Amino acid sequence: MPRGYRFPRPEIPPRPTPSDSASAAESGHNQVMRRPLALATAAVCLVACTGLAGCKESEDAASNLPRPSVAFCKAAGHYDNKIQSAKLPAQIEMVSKIAAAAPKDVSKDAQTFLDALKKRSQGDTSVVDNPKIKTAIDHVNRRAGQDCGWYKRNGM
């Protein structure tokens, strides 16, 4: 071999430069990871929207029933503030205002409460510790307490 002769080098293609993202032709390889992410995002949005749709504003009623009238809430609030010191005739007067303005769902219970107070003022002791009357009173108190805005929720 003659001196200085060099064999020709085989043609080597240039190395591709590494890139952080795939080209448009190769982007399909990420589909496996994108699909669960999209589904998870959609599920979170659905749960959040459903939860928000079920929530009410803090001024809204705590139950699913319509807000009672202002007269009912005012009478029930007055009763709640004065009950500890009020004598029986004053209680009858306050409960009669509650019964007159009570929403349909508690009007019968409010009337039962009023009738029990009137019977007690006439000396009837059968109304004392009567479970039916206690249930009616609890129903009226719960409706006023939850839906007149006395108890505000903090947080959810």
Domain assignment present for 32: no
pLDDT in tens, the chain (156 residues): 556 777 677 777 777 666 655 555 555 555 555 555 555 554 544 444 444 444 444 444 456 778 889 999 999 999 989 888 889 999 999 999 999 999 999 999 999 999 999 999 999 999 999 999 999 999 999 998 888 877 665 544
The reported pLDDT for the residue numbered 59 is 47
Identify whether 6 is part of a domain: no
Domain annotation covers residue 90:
yes
Residue 52 lies in a domain: no
In a domain, 54, yes or no: no
Rounded distance between C-alpha atoms, residue 112 and residue 153, angstroms: 30
Residue 141, domain member (yes or no): yes
Q: Kindly report whether the global pTM for this prediction surpasses the value 0.75.
A: no
pLDDT at 98: 94
Query: Do the domain assignments include residue 79?
Result: yes
- Whole-angstrom distance, CA of residue 136 vs CA of residue 156: 29
**Domains of the chain: total:** 1
Domain limits for position 130: 70-147
